[in-house]
Amino acid sequence: MARTPVLAAGGIVLKTAKTPLIAVVRLRKRNEWVLPKGKLDAGETPRDAAEREVLEETGHDVSVHEFLGTLIYETRGRCKIVHYWRMEAGGEQIREPMPDIKSVDWLPLGDAMGRLAREHERAFLETVGPIALQAAVLAEKARRSRAKQPAPERRKVRRPLAPMPMIGEAVPAPLQAALEPAMEQGTPAPVAGEVVEIDAASCSDNSEIAVFAPTVEPEAAPTARARNLLQRMRDWLRRAA
């Protein structure tokens, strides 16, 4: 009978520097360097668990960004599934790491890979590390670009006044809601990291690395109800004129 997989989550945690640095933590009992991660608490989502575990193991408050991938391997006869997100640590530690952690170090990608004690984590970091670094560079460029843009000029918009409807005539929706432009079809919805469900049988003696990209779904076109509301507003304005 297959044993229930162990579910865990963690982060590829970056610190901004001339050469970006990646966090690795040293376990007190085994004296091994590993990526920061930990098991999910009851009722906890993988993303929330990843943020909590990174704070507990590194002592740093982090911002959580893109979902990077899932590492699957066998440990002590059980399948362990670990989901990872790209994270950014800001400033100094806000608390001491948990007692299980002996020390925390920040290293360039190549040095971090060499420091890790477990082969499956080295292979995983080799796969997703460059992705995390590139995403961080693009995010920083986007922030700088937004900072350079001047604030948009605010202009007062005079809205047309219409007479009040006669008694017994249906009162339309507020003019402001009707005059707001509809969202263009195809505008992407917020990106959400895809959490992958994996059966215990998928865990073999050899470690497996799986990298799953987030999905982006287009936002739905305006509903028929909204179109009917706009048409009713146009008819009412035409009669009012």
Whether residue 152 lies inside any domain: the answer is: no
Whether residue 109 lies inside any domain: the answer is: yes
Whether residue 69 lies inside any domain: the answer is: yes
Whether residue 160 lies inside any domain: the answer is: no
Whether residue 204 lies inside any domain: the answer is: no
Domain that holds residue 29: 6-147
pLDDT at res. 47: 98
The total domain count for the chain is 1
Whether residue 37 lies inside any domain: the answer is: yes
Residue 214 to residues 70, 90, 183, 218, 223: CA-CA distances in angstroms? 12, 25, 23, 13, 27
Whether residue 44 lies inside any domain: the answer is: yes
Distance (Å, whole) CA 90 – CA 29: 28
pLDDT at res. 130: 97
| Cβ–Cβ under 8 Å, residues 120 and 209 | yes
Instruction: Give the tens place of pLDDT for each residue, 170-210.
Output: 444 443 333 333 333 333 333 334 444 444 455 654 445 55
82 sits in which H/E element? strand 78-89
pLDDT at res. 163: 55
Instruction: Give the tens place of pLDDT for each residue, 131-163.
Output: 999 999 999 899 888 888 776 677 666 665 555
CATH value at residue 14: 3.90.79.10
| Cβ–Cβ under 8 Å, residues 72 and 198 | yes
Model confidence at 168: pLDDT above 80: no
Distance (Å, whole) CA 94 – CA 83: 24
Model confidence at 11: pLDDT above 80: yes
pLDDT at res. 26: 98
| Amino acid occupying residue 172 | P
Whether residue 54 lies inside any domain: the answer is: yes
